[in-house]
């Protein structure tokens, strides 16, 4: 079991549910736009939101955001230790910061003191594009990622700071998986999983699912972030689907549907697409099966709360808890399912 770290109201590690994270991509200086994006992320189911902080002005801008969100907020600091201290003091719930980037351990000590004073944990986040040169002289690939993270952690531990989370992200899935496996063996800090720079919506979702999913299946990982180019709400939707597919997500509708073939005689694709869009924000844990015909339909319906199973031109049988309740026209299918979900 990993150590547990508290980020605002969310626990990471120590048996807590795997949480979903994302990051804003609005200008942090534009606090109104950033707050609006954080609220959209929260509504989509994001547990923790990170903001990039690169200037004193951005720290000040965040004063207008802190306290107005339900999701805990993480300050992403690159090199300026004063920003880390200020963010811990103004109410950020976690700092992402690599102490090995600082030129003096006195500065690290000041950051650690501010984090201890405010009960704020630190995430050490190493990416394959920003590895420590001393480490890469000795190691490469996954070992370099893991050793680089452990080097940053050792500096924090020197100052008695153990409230840490670690990430070791790579855009190469095999490297990322191996690096997390090494860390899982070597330390008991909770792990933040992610495939970095994974790409556009579809490519990034596939790469992230393979990398993050491979680790979660082995019981490795305490919080996840899917990195996609574009609107971060898509990251949250993908992360929830990854967790849902492994039964690790505690809420939301799961839709099972067959690929269809010539035996399907109703407009199933349109029904599935409409359901996926309409049910995005629903928090109830419900399983819906949408199936083309009786070959596999009744079997899937047995394991679902609500199911459709094609039965003739433009018609489908509607199942509730494995029992057929009626035959309906395809044009009524979405409406009937939404009503049933409401009643469940």
What is the closest distance, in whole angstroms, from the C-beta atom of residue 301 to ligand SF4 in the complex? Answer: 11
By CB under 6 A, the residues from 168 to 187 that bind ligand SF4 are none
Q: Does 296 bind ligand SF4 (CB under 6 A)?
A: yes
What is the closest distance, in whole angstroms, from the C-beta atom of residue 303 to ligand SF4 in the complex? Answer: 14
Q: Does 21 bind ligand SF4 (CB under 6 A)?
A: no
Three-class SS of residue 251?
Answer: coil
Nearest CB to ligand SF4, comparing residues 196 and 260: 260
Nearest CB to ligand SF4, comparing residues 183 and 290: 290
Exposed e or buried b for every residue in 148-160, given b needs 16+ CB within 10 A?
Answer: bbbbbbebbeebe
Who contacts 70 (Cβ-Cβ below 8 Å, separation ≥6)? 42
As a whole number of angstroms, the distance between CA 111 and CA 120 comes to 10
Residue owning tokens 């923790």: 48
Whole-Å CA distances, 241 to 102, 120, 172, 219, 253: 38, 29, 21, 17, 10
- DSSP assignment, residue 252? S
As a whole number of angstroms, the distance between CA 42 and CA 49 comes to 8
| From candidates 232, 292, 336, 341, binder to ligand SF4 by CB under 6 A | 292
Element (H, E) at 153: helix 141-158
Instruction: Using alpha carbons only, give the angle 86, 90, 93 rounded to the nearest 5 degrees.
Output: 100
What is the closest distance, in whole angstroms, from the C-beta atom of residue 265 to ligand SF4 in the complex? Answer: 9
| From candidates 35, 111, 297, 333, binder to ligand SF4 by CB under 6 A | 297
What is the closest distance, in whole angstroms, from the C-beta atom of residue 262 to ligand SF4 in the complex? Answer: 7
What is the closest distance, in whole angstroms, from the C-beta atom of residue 329 to ligand SF4 in the complex? Answer: 18
Q: x/- contact string, 244-283, with ligand SF4 (CB under 6 A)?
A: --------------xxxx-xx-------------------
Length of the chain: 344
Nearest CB to ligand SF4, comparing residues 104 and 262: 262
- Count other C-beta atoms under 10 Å from residue 327's C-beta: 12
Q: Does 99 bind ligand SF4 (CB under 6 A)?
A: no
Nearest CB to ligand SF4, comparing residues 29 and 295: 295
As a whole number of angstroms, the distance between CA 84 and CA 112 comes to 9
What is the closest distance, in whole angstroms, from the C-beta atom of residue 260 to ligand SF4 in the complex? Answer: 5
What is the closest distance, in whole angstroms, from the C-beta atom of residue 120 to ligand SF4 in the complex? Answer: 51
Nearest CB to ligand SF4, comparing residues 179 and 258: 258
| From candidates 74, 168, 293, 304, binder to ligand SF4 by CB under 6 A | 293
Contact between 48 and 10 (Cβ < 8 Å): yes
Nearest CB to ligand SF4, comparing residues 62 and 301: 301
What is the closest distance, in whole angstroms, from the C-beta atom of residue 293 to ligand SF4 in the complex? Answer: 3
Nearest CB to ligand SF4, comparing residues 187 and 294: 294
Residue owning tokens 């990993």: 2
Nearest CB to ligand SF4, comparing residues 71 and 309: 309
In the complex, the residues that contact ligand SF4 under the rule CB under 6 A are 258-261, 263-264, 291-293, 295-297
């Amino acid at each position: 079991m990993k150590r547990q770290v508290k980020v605002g109201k969310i626990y990471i590690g120590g048996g807590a549910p795997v949480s979903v994270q994302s990051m804003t991509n609005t200008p942090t200086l534009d606090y109104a736009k950033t707050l609006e994006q954080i609220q959209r992320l929260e509504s989509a189911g994001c547990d923790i939101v990170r903001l990039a902080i690169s200037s004193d002005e951005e720290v000040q801008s965040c004063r207008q955001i802190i306290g107005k969100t339900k999701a805990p907020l993480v300050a992403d600091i690159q090199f300026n230790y004063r920003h880390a201290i200020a963010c811990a003091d103004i109410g950020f719930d976690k700092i992402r910061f690599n102490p090995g980037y600082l030129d003096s351990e006195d500065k690290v000590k000041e950051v650690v003191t501010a984090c201890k004073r405010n009960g704020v944990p630190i995430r050490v986040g190493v990416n394959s594009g920003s590895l420590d040169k001393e480490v890469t002289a000795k190691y490469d690939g996954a070992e370099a990622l893991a050793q680089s993270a452990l080097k940053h952690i050792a500096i924090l531990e020197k100052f008695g700071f153990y409230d840490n989370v670690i990430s070791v992200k790579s855009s190469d899935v095999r490297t990322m998986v191996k690096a997390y496996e090494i860390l899982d063996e070597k330390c008991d800090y909770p792990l933040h999983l992610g495939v970095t720079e994974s790409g556009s919506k579809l490519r990034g979702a596939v790469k992230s699912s393979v990398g993050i999913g491979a680790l979660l299946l082995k019981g490795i990982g305490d919080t996840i972030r899917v990195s996609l180019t574009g609107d971060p709400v898509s990251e949250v939707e993908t992360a929830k689907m990854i967790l849902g597919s492994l039964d690790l997500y505690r809420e939301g509708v799961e839709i099972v549907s067959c690929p269809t073939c010539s035996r399907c005689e109703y407009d199933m694709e349109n029904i599935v697409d409409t359901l996926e869009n309409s049910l995005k924000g629903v928090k109830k844990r419900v399983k819906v099966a949408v199936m083309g015909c009786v070959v596999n339909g009744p079997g899937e319906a047995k394991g679902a709360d609500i199911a459709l199973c094609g039965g003739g031109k433009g018609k489908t049988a509607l199942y509730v808890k494995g029992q057929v309740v009626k035959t309906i026209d395809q044009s009524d299918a979405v409406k009937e399912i939404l009503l049933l979900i409401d009643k469940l």
